[in-house]
Amino acid sequence: MAEPSASGPGPVTTTRVRLPWEPVAFAAVLLVAWEVGARAFGVPEFLLPRPLSILSTMQSQAGRMVPHLAFTLGEALSGFAGGVLLGILVAFGLASSAFLRRELLPLIVFSQSMPTAALAPLLVVWLGLGFLPKAVLALVLVFFPIAMNVTSGLVQVNPDLLRLVRSYRATAWQAFIKVRLPHAVGYLIAGMQIAAPLALIGAVVGEFVGANRGIGFVILDAAARLATVEMLAGITYVGLTGTAMFLAVGALERSLAPWLGDRR
């Protein structure tokens, strides 16, 4: 059989989609160890519920918990959308002016240094017990990573690339659109991946402080009744939803900025 010519085309490579089976398998091992360990040592269910009990409760209580979870998710998504929009607008201002960066960055950092649990009661007092204070709390948590990441993406551009576009007589606006903005897309998506679970956390914390609906209200009600299994079932629903939001942002990256995947 003749050998392939060295001058011919190279081997055809295919991109294989790697399924995330490793973390799923690791989680399964941990759950099995939890179940077996709890049974072997006779740990009471009210103290440490077993995974099978939690899964059973999630299934039996789905009709009650899922509508509350959907309400919380609506709060989180509203705050997420508002926080992303506000963060991008502030980032544009910070990136365009060194004066604004000097004056506003300390105030932004100070605002994010306040604990969420301390801010939530104020929002409830000001805005009531309904949908709005939870969405605003989610917005506050989302705003910071978006603003900081997008600002970094707009500012930390290769200066040689900027000099190149200026050599072609590009205006500052053209350099912003053609160079700075595409460079910031990856930073924006990274900030959104951080912020998506934070939005859900903000909504749940707001419901802990004062609410009559939402998965946070369900968890707090279960805690008042010392229903540990229901508490962990609600917490598991929150964790799965936050993970789904994170993965959804990753899917958005693959559709809007597929070139970023080639760098990873």
Q: In the predicted model, what is the mean pLDDT of residues 103-126?
A: 86
Task: Specify whether the CB–CB gap between 231 and 222 falls below 8 A.
Answer: yes
Rounded distance between C-alpha atoms, residue 96 and residue 115, angstroms: 30
Binned at pLDDT 50, 70 and 90, residue 82 comes out as: very high
Both structure tokens of 213? 């609906």
Rounded distance between C-alpha atoms, residue 260 and residue 147, angstroms: 20
Q: In the predicted model, what is the mean pLDDT of residues 220-231?
A: 94
Which helix (DSSP H) or strand (DSSP E) does residue 248 occupy?
A: helix 228-256
Give the model's pLDDT for residue 151: 93
Q: Is the pLDDT of residue 249 over 60?
A: yes
- CA max distance for the chain: 82
SS3 117: helix
pLDDT digits (tens, 9 = 90+) for 6-22: 444 444 444 444 556 78
Both structure tokens of 148? 């900081």
Binned at pLDDT 50, 70 and 90, residue 260 comes out as: low
Domains of the chain in sequence order = 49-263 (1.10.3720.10)
Q: In the predicted model, what is the mean pLDDT of residues 111-122?
A: 84
Give exposure, 239-260, as e/b (b: 16+ Cβ within 10 Å). eebbeebbeebeeebeeeeeee
Residue 56 φ/ψ, nearest 5 degrees:
-65, -40
Both structure tokens of 117? 């649990």
Q: Is the pLDDT of residue 98 over 90?
A: no
pLDDT digits (tens, 9 = 90+) for 180-223: 888 898 899 999 999 999 999 999 999 999 888 999 999 999 99
pLDDT digits (tens, 9 = 90+) for 127-141: 888 899 999 999 999
Binned at pLDDT 50, 70 and 90, residue 2 comes out as: very low
Give the model's pLDDT for residue 94: 92
Q: In the predicted model, what is the mean pLDDT of residues 21-47?
A: 88
Alpha helices in the chain (DSSP H): 21-40, 51-60, 62-96, 98-113, 116-127, 131-155, 159-167, 172-175, 181-209, 215-224, 228-256
What's this model's pTM, rounded to 2 decimal places? 0.84
Pick from 70-84, 102-116, 146-160: least confident: 102-116
pLDDT digits (tens, 9 = 90+) for 51-77: 999 999 999 999 999 999 999 999 999
Task: Specify whether the CB–CB gap between 245 and 172 falls below 8 A.
Answer: no
